[in-house]
Amino acid sequence: MTPKHEFEHEVKRDVEARVRQGIKAVLLEEVLEEEMAEHLEAGYREFTPIRRGERNGHYQRNLLTPAGKIERLEVPRDREGEFVTKVFERYKRMTGDVEEAILEM
């Protein structure tokens, strides 16, 4: 590989990594927080008469998506341990689209 092609390849990988991190930060974690608010029936630090529990921080996990591997995804959790996201299945490390593509190979 020539130095020019090697440089272009490195730049492309860097851009892809930044896009994955952008997807993680902006989309997935925001969706997860919205799901938690829906689960608790209250927003962050919002006290309402119908509130169904409390947040208990986050845990980190890696997730393989069609856009690539997303590392250290911040997943919210509740004190009772009842929150289950619809974004991915519990204990799975890949989204359904990735699994289907692998099985089709």
Q: For the chain, which residues make up each domain, given as ranges?
A: 3-104
Q: List pLDDT tens digits, range 40-94.
A: 999 888 888 899 899 999 999 888 877 677 888 899 999 999 999 888 877 666 6
Q: What is the pLDDT of residue 14?
A: 84
Of residues 75, 81, 92, the one with CA closest to residue 40: 81
pTM, two decimals, is 0.67
Q: What is the pLDDT of residue 102?
A: 44
Is residue 103 over pLDDT 50?
A: no
Cβ–Cβ under 8 Å, residues 29 and 74: yes
End-to-end Cα spacing for the chain? 28
Q: What is the pLDDT of residue 97?
A: 57
Q: What is the pLDDT of residue 64?
A: 81
